[in-house]
């Protein structure tokens, strides 16, 4: 199995940082130093997950199932929207922006399609082979129902759990036998 070390690190560090930033940074009040620190942390987190996704697309996790790679490309589009949204949040001083839900939807749909391809290709073994799929399904099971019912962002702990699925993708990649270090080519 061909996996880049930088992609694995992106997923693991990004997933762990997502959990920490959800629990520590989200409660920060708008336009405070804590808010700006959290938004800066989110920029780094989204970049790490984006790097991980690029590595996942470039790996052979989906085999010859081109639709799986295209699914991950949709997720990459979602991550890029997240990056733009975080920059916009810093500029306006709050994170109540309309672009966050579409970013979540694109990421989730892309991870479902790509995750199904990972499972179908059968190149990843064990329960962790479902990690990309779990990352995609999670928002539909836990984030969107709360948003629909309350009109508010889900509790920080729920959002932190989504980061746990990202960490699981990194752990799945790390568990593969052959890791090829490389410099990311985007």
> Could you report the per-residue pLDDT of 107-157, keeping only the tens digit for each?
999 999 999 999 999 999 899 999 999 999 999 999 999 999 999 889 999
d(CA 178, CA 102): 35
Q: Which H helix or E strand runs over 3?
A: strand 3-4
Nearest to 14 by CA among 175, 162, 177: 162
* Mean pLDDT, residues 164-180 taken together: 83
pLDDT at 59: 87
pLDDT at 179: 44
d(CA 46, CA 61): 21
Nearest to 42 by CA among 94, 82, 76, 101: 82
Neighbours of 32 (CB within 10 A): 11
Tokens of 161: 């759990």
Total-model pTM:
0.90
Nearest to 136 by CA among 110, 99, 169: 110
Alpha carbon distances (Å) from 57 to 3, 28, 82, 87, 163:
10, 34, 19, 25, 19
Q: 3-class SS at 4? A: strand
Give the sign of the dihedral formed by CA 105, CA 140, CA 57, CA 15.
positive
d(CA 26, CA 39): 9
Task: Supply the DSSP symbol for 73.
Answer: H
Q: How confident is the model over 105-120, as pLDDT tens digits?
A: 999 999 999 999 999 9
């Amino acid at each position: 199995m061909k996996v880049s070390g930088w992609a694995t690190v992106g997923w693991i560090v990004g997933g762990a940082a997502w959990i920490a930033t959800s629990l520590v940074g989200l409660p920060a009040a708008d336009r405070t130093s804590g808010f700006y620190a959290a938004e800066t942390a989110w920029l780094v987190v989204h970049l790490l997950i984006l790097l991980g996704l690029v590595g996942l697309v470039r790996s052979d996790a989906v085999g010859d199932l081109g639709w799986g790679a295209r699914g991950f490309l949709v997720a990459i589009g979602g991550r890029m929207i997240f990056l733009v949204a975080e920059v916009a949040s810093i500029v306006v001083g709050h994170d109540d922006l309309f672009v966050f839900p579409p970013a979540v939807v694109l990421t989730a749909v892309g991870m479902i399609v790509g995750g199904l391809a990972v499972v179908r290709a059968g190149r990843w073994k064990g329960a962790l082979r479902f990690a990309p799929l779990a990352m995609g399904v999670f928002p539909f099971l836990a984030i969107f129902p709360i948003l629909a019912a309350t009109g508010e962002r889900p509790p920080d702990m729920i959002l932190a759990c989504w980061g746990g699925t990202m960490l699981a993708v990194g752990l799945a990649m790390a568990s593969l036998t052959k890791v090829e270090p490389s410099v990311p080519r985007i």
